[in-house]
Structure 1
Amino acid sequence: MAMPFVLSPEGQLKLVIFDCDGVLVDSEATCCGISAEEARAAGMTVPAGKEVETFSGMALPGIQKLIEEKTGKSLGATWAAQTQARFVEAMQNGVEPIDGVHDMLENVVKLGLPVRVGSNSSCQEMAIKFKTTNLEHFFENRIHSARDMGFPKPRPDVYLHAAQEEGVKPENCVVLEDSNTGAKAAVNAGMACVLLRAQGEPVPDWPNLVVIHHLSEFAPLLQKALKTQEQ
């Protein structure tokens, strides 16, 4: 897999954008579990142990659409808001930091790179997640919600908006993602994507993509790129 342009000696790395769930905080099991409960209540079959696989990376409107397509039932205009309220309540107890996230963020900040977050979660959810995991000081006024914008991933809007707010071109950004949905959004935005993926799990054959298996690999990857770009 070729190194993305922005991480090559010819590139100029100027902004790091993080997904939230599965990259910074471990809330996917909680949120996907709630989504599966809702789906089963509507009559959709979600096998035990397949909750995360079924709903990972999806925004609530997409989850609603999937359930309605599978069951032929309408969940109604208030379903997404009600389910989001369940997410928010669960986040106060059911979220942990991803292993190594505090060290990783401190090391990225030491490199002098600005950081932002672009997520399918709402800003309300992210505020609680970051407070619970003691990450909020890294991202004060630097959080962007695809859900609140109304354009969830795999649309690139949230990542393009984050770059615009920083005053940086897409080709100067790198995104850290864990889901194919989010990685596609980064690629669609014209940005490089570093995909956090467990060893042995399949990886999409897309351009501008590089894979790591633990957060401890991320800052050294950026540091190496910056060093080659100084020469």
Structure 2
Amino acid sequence: MHFKPVTHVIFDMDGLIIESESIYKKILQQIAKEYGKKYTEEIEGKVLGTTEKDTAKIFLHDLDIPLSVDEFLDIYHKKVKEQLQNPSLMPGAERLIVHLSKHNVPIAVATSSSQEALLVKTKNHQNIFKLFHHIVCGSTDPEVKNGKPAPDIFLVCASRFPEKVDPEKCLVLEDAPNGIKGAISAGMQGVLVPAKNVGEGQRKLATLVIESLEEFRPEFFGLPPFEN
């Protein structure tokens, strides 16, 4: 396997660093059920990695639920606040983040989450999140004009490192095909750690597919290897 060496690493957050996707799924199932509808795997695949507004639009359209986007988001935000207070970390995430930080590899987060949701989800993991140079929240950042699968969030994220970094020198770690599409469109390499419902066809765009961050080998991309 041959990959291009990189200098900077951009992480997605939900489903990659923190185990929040199962909780989001539960929240969307609850809202669907309240309107006598069923939140399907097909819709789940469409909303994975999207901004909150895009999630709302897809969810309401596909399930034909008579709410406005703002009405939906009011309900959604209340449930997120209640249910996402203390998500666990995904396997291998802490080890990798600490390792890259220790070796002075510049790292950042590009999440479709809102700033408000980010604060709720990360408050018990500040030791990890303080290691990132910056965090871009796609749902609330004014510079991110279009959410994933558009490349905007990754280009904005790259531009906020203090040194001017070429997108080719950035590696993106994602769990969602929408995120991988955005990363590749931005001219970056993308490693996919696929969520459970990501089919074979949706994995093809990724530079590399691994089942868990525990399998990630930094040296494949010219980064310092783990010490055994």
Distance (whole Å) between structure 2 residues aligned to residue 153 and residue 143 of structure 1: 15
Distance (whole Å) between structure 1 residues aligned to residue 17 and residue 159 of structure 2: 22
Task: For residues 9-64 of structure 1, give each alpha carbon's deviation from its aligned partner in whole angstroms, at most 9, with x where no partner exists.
Answer: xxxx12100000111000111112111211232343225x8885564323322222
Distance (whole Å) between structure 2 residues aligned to residue 169 and residue 197 of structure 1: 26
Q: Secondary structure at the match of 1:22?
A: coil
**Match for 2:14 among 16, 21, 28?**
21
Distance (whole Å) between structure 1 residues aligned to residue 118 and residue 179 of structure 2: 16
Distance (whole Å) between structure 1 residues aligned to residue 62 and residue 157 of structure 2: 34
C-alpha change, 1:89 and 1:198, in structure 2 (3 Å) is closer
Distance (whole Å) between structure 2 residues aligned to residue 184 and residue 108 of structure 1: 24
Distance (whole Å) between structure 2 residues aligned to residue 204 and residue 224 of structure 1: 19
Query: What corresponds to 2:211 in structure 1?
Result: 213
Query: What corresponds to 1:163 in structure 2?
Result: 158
Q: Secondary structure at the match of 1:144?
A: strand
Matched residues, number:
215
Q: Secondary structure at the match of 2:203?
A: coil
Letter in 1 for 2:207: L
| Structure 2: gaps (5+ residues) | none
Distance (whole Å) between structure 2 residues aligned to residue 143 and residue 227 of structure 1: 21
Tell whether 2:30 aligns with 1:37.
Answer: yes
Tell whether 2:139 aligns with 1:142.
Answer: no
Identity of aligned residues (%): 26
C-alpha change, 1:128 and 1:181, in structure 2 (3 Å) is same
**Equivalent residues of 1:157, 1:189 under 8 A apart:** yes
**Match for 1:88 among 70, 78, 81?**
81
C-alpha change, 1:43 and 1:190, in structure 2 (3 Å) is farther
Query: What corresponds to 1:10 in structure 2?
Result: none
Q: Secondary structure at the match of 2:101?
A: helix
Distance (whole Å) between structure 2 residues aligned to residue 31 and residue 175 of structure 1: 22
Q: Quote the offset at 1:128 in angstroms.
A: 2.6
C-alpha change, 1:129 and 1:155, in structure 2 (3 Å) is same
Query: What corresponds to 2:55 in structure 1?
Result: 63
User: For the aligned residues, what is the CA RMSD?
Assistant: 2.7
- TM-score scaled by structure 2? 0.82
- TM-score scaled by structure 1? 0.81
Greater RCO (Cα-Cα under 8 Å, separation 6 or more)? 1
